Chains A and B, each alone.
Chain A
Amino acid sequence: MKSTLDHAALAEEFNKDEERVDWHDGALWWIRQKRDRSAHQTPQWEELREAASAIKSNVISNLHDYLIQFEENLKKNGVKVYWASDAEEHNQIVYSILKAKEIKQMVKSKSMLTEECHLNEFLEERGIEVINSDLGEYIQQIDNEPPSHIVLPCIHKRKEEIGELFHEHLGTEKGLSDPTLLTRVARKHLRNVFLTRRAALTGVNFAVAETGEYVVCTNEGNADMGAHLSEVQIASMGLEKIIPERKHLGVFLRLLARSAIGQPITIYSSHYKKPRPGQEMHLILVDKGRSNLLARPDFRESLKCIKCGGCMNTCPVYRKSGGLSYHNTISGPIGAILAPNLDMKKHADLPFASTLCGSCSNVCPVKIPIHDQLYKWRQEIVKQGYSASRKTFSMKAMALTLSSPEIYKTAGKTGRWLLNNAPFAINNKFNPWYKQRDMPDSSQQSFGEWYAKNGSKK
């Protein structure tokens, strides 16, 4: 995002079109309901979540060993392995692989990691064209906008808007907004991309340490199409994507698509292990803040995330503010606990973009206590000095008032007196409460005052 506005300001902007907010909220709530139905149809759903969480606990506690095991097995299978500590290193590695083969065009299937690394921009600056082959990502790419949701990248766009984009960029008829027809146009266009690109990059959903294979889950088959037609196949994965054994896929694959969109399993769960004759396979293991997160005991559980997006669909704040107002590649509740680890100052607003309602933690398939982590990030952000001084001042005043029964009584009385006798001091445009809400009635005595008079008679 180029914007410097914070979540509250961007959300206010989003809320200027209420009908659109209702539509966005409804679309995502529908997905939450699909998730509920499919969870209820799965025997031992809660036990599955517990098992997934426990497996991931094991992974993050033994990450070092699993990564080495995974690397060894990859090498045995004939895959070239790279380690990147940050986005720059990752992007350089991809560039060097492509440069060695004099490749100028690459097709990419959905990968949030490469979005985080801004790989497309990096390669384009060096004369390499990248096309996102996931339909939603593709739409976002031609609109030059980041994804607003990790699973549903253009969920904030209406079909008419997509029709308009296609008219502008792909030459479709003006006013065409039928999803089937638009998809057909994109498909035809992408088919040509698949056939002509020599290199394909995919993300990784699960990396199996035991076998050195990795699994990519898509509904469109675009990762497969890209990978199968390429002579150079690259996979980029965050360090946390490891699972110990292949049998653990039986837990994660059952949870992933159900949690994401209420579907029993993704249409394609493709296992990649060895290069075909004549093909090269490269895998880049990317840290980019993961080891830092591992070193923060309060927050390391967020490394369990399998990027299902379930927390976004259930979050009422996300639904009513839109993914782009989080000004981060990964938005919603999970984005709000991952982003401060990368840049606390830039993302100091995100842990506050929540009511701490806790619905996110309840849908999370790996049981990350997301709302507890939001609370803890708030403490951390204030401690590190990334909170406005105005807020710190008023918090100190509040702490003083509430720690003295006498000041508290006077303040309460004064507040109620003001509301009754000088409402203009409170009911004005500088009071965000009053903008769309009336103030509570304050004409009565406090309970404390009532009790002093009547309490003993009871």
Chain B
Amino acid sequence: MKIGLFIPCYVNQLYPNAAIATLELLQKLGADVSYPSKQTCCGQPMANSGYEHLTQSCNDLFVENFSGFDYIVAPSASCVLHVKDHLHSHANEAAATEIRGKIYELVEFLTDVLKIEKLDAHFPHKVGIHQSCHGLRGLHLAQMSELVAPDFSKPRHLLNMVSGLELTELDRVDECCGFGGLFCIAEEAVSVKMGKDRITDHTKHGAEYITSPDLSCLMHMEGILQRNKSKVKIIHIAEILNSSSIKA
């Protein structure tokens, strides 16, 4: 099984440890992973701002980098959703179509493709799950609170395999954190207020860590936590699932 590792631009630049954990975790589980070094970004920042028409060369580059793999895996639900919904190529639409069907966010890859049932991971902390909206309502990583449908959660399923970890509750289980891409700049006041309120929901239930399959939400909340000198930390879910090796 040949896996192409897609590390989104901001994860590559600012959260290398989450990327390393993703790579190590997949390798631990026996996957043959490689990282195409000429990759950059999925194009979402432009597209969500209304400039999807400027993303063509970004898309072509993506297709060039990720053709030929059995699967493409990324530790970022939002970027994966963008590729699934919007990756097209004038030059090679067949390859783009194939990629749209083969790209997985890390959590869903572990639960749906590798179908793992146990993990050798240890993380003795109280952890709150932040359901990123794109992971939740776009990729259906968990049941959405608005719908009348049976409950499930892929991130929770995986975190329950981690020894020592205690999941904390939330009053609003899947409310948006207010990151929203360029929304966090253009609508700074509302964005920060939404982030603050999400954090309060986690802290009042005793979370020491807030985790998510999306670092963009976490980056936004981390900015607020650090500004307010909070002891609560953010951590990408890959780092928890790979935690025993980090400890060692």
Contact = CB atoms under 8 A, between A and B. Distances in A.
Interface stretch (A155-163, A246-254, A290-298, A399-407): A399-407
B223 A440 contact: yes
Contacts of B226: 437-438
B38 interface: yes
A447 B11 contact: yes
A427 to B, nearest CB: 11
Contact of B9 (A42, A353, A402): A402
Interface in A352-389: 352-359, 361-363, 375, 378-383, 387
Contacts of A452: 37
Interface string A32-58: 000010011010011000000000000
Nearest to B148: A45
Contacts of B91: none
Contact of A451 (B37, B50, B175, B188): B37
Interface in B122-166: 133-134, 137-138, 144-149
Given A317-B190, A437-B224, A450 B20 contact: yes
B49 A391 contact: yes
Given A357-B137, A444-B16, A362 B40 contact: no
A11 B190 contact: yes
A455 interface: yes
A46 B149 contact: yes
B94 interface: no
A403 B57 CA distance: 5
B7, B34, B183, B219, most chain A CB atoms within 10 A: B183
Contacts of B48: 356, 375, 378
Contacts of A358: 133, 137-138
B35 to A, nearest CB: 5
Interface in A392-447: 392, 395-396, 398-399, 401-405, 408, 412, 415-416, 432-433, 435-442, 444-447
B7 A316 contact: no
A405 B184 contact: no
Contacts, number: 213
A448 interface: yes
Contacts of A42: 148
B209 to A, nearest CB: 16
A354 B50 CA distance: 13
B39 A458 contact: no
Contact of B193 (A320, A354, A359, A387): A320
Nearest to A374: B48
Interface in B30-58: 34-35, 37-41, 43, 45-55, 57-58
Contacts of A363: 146
Interface residues of B, number: 76
A442 B13 contact: yes
Contact of A447 (B16, B138, B175, B227): B16
Interface in A109-165: none
Contacts of B37: 405, 448, 451-452
Nearest to B39: A405
Contacts of A93: none
A433 B223 contact: yes
Nearest to B215: A440
Interface string B192-215: 111101000000000000000000
Contacts of B43: 399, 402
B42 to A, nearest CB: 9
Contacts of A408: 9, 40-41
B220 interface: yes
A29 interface: yes
B16 A405 contact: no
Interface of A is mostly: helix
B24 A458 contact: yes
Contacts of A402: 9, 40-41, 43, 46, 58, 61
A314 interface: yes
Contacts of B193: 15, 18, 21, 320
B248 interface: no
B14 interface: yes
Nearest to A351: B50
A251 B193 CA distance: 38
A395 B51 contact: yes
Nearest to A42: B148
Contact of A395 (B27, B35, B54, B185): B54
A15 B190 contact: yes
B127 to A, nearest CB: 20
Contact of A403 (B58, B134, B183, B194): B58
Interface of A: 7-8, 11-12, 14-15, 18, 21, 25, 29, 36, 39-40, 42, 45-46, 314, 316-317, 320-321, 352-359, 361-363, 375, 378-383, 387, 391-392, 395-396, 398-399, 401-405, 408, 412, 415-416, 432-433, 435-442, 444-448, 450-452, 455, 458
19 contacts: A8-B189, A15-B193, A21-B193, A25-B197, A316-B194, A355-B183, A357-B133, A357-B137, A359-B146, A382-B53, A383-B53, A398-B46, A399-B55, A402-B43, A408-B9, A435-B188, A436-B224, A440-B219, A455-B35
